[in-house]
Amino acid sequence: MASSAKIAALFLCLSIILSSCYFFPSGLPQPTDFLSLIGFIFLIVNPKILKFLTQQLFARKFLIGFLSCFIIANIYSLRFYPDVTFWGAFLGIAYIIFNLAIYLSFNFFSKEISTYPMFLNSCLLCAFIDFISTYVQQGLRGSGFMNNPNQFGSHILSLLIISILFSKSNLVSWKTILIFALLITPAIQTGSKAALVGGIPIIISVAFSLIFNIKRNLFLLFEFLKNKSLYILIILVMASVVLFMFPEQVEKFINIFSNALDFTNQRIESSVNESDSDLWHGRNIYLITKLTWIDWFTGIGYYRYYQRLGETFEIHSLFPSLIVISGVFSFIFFTLFVLFRLKRNINFLAWSSIFSLVLYSITHQLFRDTNMWIILGLMR
Do the domain assignments include residue 247?
no
In whole angstroms, what is the distance from residue 155 CA to residue 31 CA?
A: 15
In whole angstroms, what is the distance from residue 371 CA to residue 364 CA?
A: 13
Listing DSSP states for 258-279 in one string gives HHHHHHHHHHHHTGGGSGGG-H
Listing DSSP states for 67-128 in one string gives HHHHHHHHHHHHHH-TT--HHHHHHHHHHHHHHHHHHHHHHHHTT-GGGHHHHHHHHHHHHH
Per the structure, how many domains does the chain have? 1
In whole angstroms, what is the distance from residue 1 CA to residue 49 CA?
A: 10
Do the domain assignments include residue 25?
yes
Do the domain assignments include residue 357?
yes
Q: What pLDDT, in 10s, does the model give residues 334-367?
A: 999 988 888 877 677 778 888 888 888 888 777 6
- In the Cβ-directed half-sphere of 60, how many Cα atoms lie within 13 Å? 28
Do the domain assignments include residue 290?
yes
- Across the range 99-109, mean pLDDT stands at 94
Displacement of CA 218 from its chain's centroid (Å): 31
Listing DSSP states for 314-367 in one string gives --SSHHHHHHHHH-HHHHHHHHHHHHHHHHH--SHHHHHHHHHHHHHHTTS--T
221 has a pLDDT exceeding 80: no
Do the domain assignments include residue 356?
yes
Do the domain assignments include residue 246?
no
Range of the domain at 192: 3-227+278-377
Do the domain assignments include residue 242?
no
Other Cβ atoms closer than 10 A to 306: 17
Q: What pLDDT, in 10s, does the model give residues 157-215?
A: 999 989 888 876 545 567 888 898 888 888 888 878 888 888 888 888 877 777 776 66
| 49 membership: H or E segment, kind and range | helix 47-58
| 229 membership: H or E segment, kind and range | helix 229-245
| Residues in contact with 39: Cβ distance below 8 Å, sequence separation at least 6, in sequence order | 7, 8, 9, 10, 11, 12, 15, 105
| Residues in contact with 15: Cβ distance below 8 Å, sequence separation at least 6, in sequence order | 32, 33, 35, 36, 39
In whole angstroms, what is the distance from residue 286 CA to residue 318 CA?
A: 13
The pTM for the full model equals 0.87
Do the domain assignments include residue 304?
yes
Which of the four pLDDT bands, split at 50, 70 and 90, describes residue 102?
Answer: very high
Other Cβ atoms closer than 10 A to 359: 18
- Across the range 143-166, mean pLDDT stands at 88
> ∠ CA(287), CA(30), CA(320), 5° rounding?
15
29 has a pLDDT exceeding 80: yes
| Residues in contact with 18: Cβ distance below 8 Å, sequence separation at least 6, in sequence order | 30, 31, 32, 35, 126
User: What are φ and ψ of residue 273, in 5° steps?
Assistant: -95, -5
